Amino acid sequence: MNGRALLARGGFALLLLAIGAFALFPFYHAVVTSFRSGTELFSPALWPETLDLSNYVQVFTQLNFGRTILNSVLVAAAVVGLSLLLAVTASYALGRVRFRGRGALMLTILGVSMFPQVAVLSGMFELIRALGLYDTLPGLMLANLVLTLPFTVWVLTTFMRELPKELEEAAYADGASPLTVIRRVFLPLLWPAMAPTALLAFIVSWNEFLFAFTFTLSAETRTVPVAIALLSGGSRQELPWGLVMAASVIVTIPVVLLVLAFQRKIVSGLTAGAVKG
Amino acid sequence: MASVELRNVQKRFDRTTVIRDVDLRIGDGEFCVFVGPSGCGKSTLLRLVAGLESVSAGSIHIGGEDVTAKPPRERGIAMVFQSYALYPHMTVHQNIAFGLEMGRARRAEIDAKVRAVAETLELTPLLDRLPKQLSGGQRQRVAIGRAIVREPQVFLFDEPLSNLDASLRVQMRIEIARLHQSMRTTMIYVTHDQVEAMTLADRIVVLNAGRIEQTGAPVELYRHPRNLFVAGFIGSTRMNFLPVRAEGSAAGVVTVGLPGGARLDVPVAGAGARPGEALTLGIRPEHVRLEGEGAALAGPVEVVEELGDEQLAYLRAPDGTLLTARIPEGARLREGQPGRFHLPPAACHLFREDGTALPRRD
Domain annotation covers residue B360: no
Confirm if A249 and A34 have CB atoms less than 8 A apart. Answer: yes
Same domain as B274, residue B149: no
Count of domains forming chain B: 2
Task: Specify the range with the lowest mean pLDDT, choosing from A174-178, A231-235, B172-176, B260-264.
Answer: A231-235
Domain annotation covers residue B155: yes
DSSP letter at A182? I
The strand pairing partners of B304, in sequence order, are: B313
Task: Specify the range with the lowest mean pLDDT, choosing from B31-40, B116-125, B150-159, B324-333.
Answer: B324-333
CB contact under 8 A, A185 and B87: yes
Same domain as B219, residue B92: yes
Distance to chain B for A167, nearest Cα, Å: 5
What is the model's pLDDT at position A58? 82
* Position with higher pLDDT, B172 vs A192: B172
Q: Is B274 helix (H, G, I), strand (E, B) or coil?
A: coil
Same domain as B207, residue B123: yes
DSSP letter at B124? G
Confirm if A245 and A55 have CB atoms less than 8 A apart. Answer: yes
Strands (E), chain A: none
In the predicted structure, residue B173 carries a pLDDT above the cut 80: yes
Distance to chain A for B130, nearest Cα, Å: 8
What is the model's pLDDT at position A271? 42
Question: What is the CATH classification number for the domain harbouring B76?
Answer: 3.40.50.300
Closest among A140, A55, A57, A154 to A111, alpha carbons compared: A154
Confirm if B11 and B48 have CB atoms less than 8 A apart. Answer: yes
Mean pLDDT, chain B, rounded, equals 90
What is the model's pLDDT at position A269? 37
Distance CA B347, CA B114 (A): 51
Per-residue pLDDT in tens (0 to 9) along chain A, 277 residues: 678 899 999 999 999 999 999 999 988 888 888 888 777 777 777 777 777 888 888 888 877 788 888 999 999 999 999 999 999 999 989 988 888 888 899 999 888 888 888 888 999 999 999 999 999 999 999 999 989 999 899 988 988 888 888 898 999 988 888 888 888 998 888 887 888 888 889 989 999 999 999 998 888 888 988 988 888 766 666 778 888 888 888 888 878 888 787 766 554 434 433 444 3
User: What are the structural domains of chain A?
Assistant: 1-63+233-250 (no CATH), 65-230 (1.10.3720.10)
Residues from chain A that touch B79, judged by Cβ atoms under 8 A, are: 169-170, 173
Same domain as B185, residue B60: yes
Query: Which residue of A174, A180, A274 is in closest CB contact with B88?
Result: A274
DSSP letter at B159? S
The strand pairing partners of B66, in sequence order, are: B61
Chosen from A97, A172, A174, A275 to mutate, greatest number of chain B CBs within 10 A: A174
Same domain as B69, residue B136: yes
The residues near A203 (Cβ < 8 Å, ≥ 6 apart) are A255
Same domain as B259, residue B211: no
ipTM (interface predicted TM)? 0.79
What is the model's pLDDT at position A268? 46
What is the model's pLDDT at position A234? 61
Same domain as B264, residue B137: no
What is the model's pLDDT at position A233? 64
Question: What is the CATH classification number for the domain harbouring B283?
Answer: 2.40.50.140
Distance to chain A for B45, nearest Cα, Å: 15
Distance CA A88, CA A195 (A): 12
Q: Is B351 helix (H, G, I), strand (E, B) or coil?
A: strand
Task: Specify the range with the lowest mean pLDDT, choosing from A245-254, B86-95, B276-285.
Answer: A245-254
Same domain as B184, residue B42: yes
Same domain as B180, residue B74: yes
Query: Which residue of B78, B84, B163 is in closest CB contact with A173?
Result: B78
What is the model's pLDDT at position A275? 47
Domain annotation covers residue B267: yes
Domain annotation covers residue B117: yes
Inter-residue long-range contacts of B100-106, CB under 8 Å, 24+ positions, other chains counted: B100/B149, B100/B150, B102/A174, B102/A175, B102/A176, B102/A180, B102/B73, B103/A175
Query: Which residue of A172, A174, A270 is in closest CB contact with B88?
Result: A270
Cα-based torsion angle of the residue sequence B187, B190, B191, B195 in order, rounded to the nearest 10 degrees = 30
Same domain as B143, residue B43: yes
- pLDDT-derived band at B139 (thresholds 50, 70, 90) equals very high
CB contact under 8 A, A174 and B132: no
Find the mean pLDDT for residues B198-220: 94
Residues from chain A that touch B130, judged by Cβ atoms under 8 A, are: 273
Query: Which residue of B72, B133, B139 is in closest CB contact with A172?
Result: B72
Task: Specify the range with the lowest mean pLDDT, choosing from A30-39, B202-211, B214-223.
Answer: A30-39
Q: How many cross-chain Cβ pairs, A to B, lie less than 8 Å apart?
A: 87
Residues from chain A that touch B82, judged by Cβ atoms under 8 A, are: 166
Domain annotation covers residue B361: no
Q: Domain of residue B206: give its range.
A: 4-233
The strand pairing partners of B4, in sequence order, are: B26, B62
What is the model's pLDDT at position A22? 93
Domain annotation covers residue B220: yes
Same domain as B18, residue B126: yes
Same domain as B312, residue B286: yes
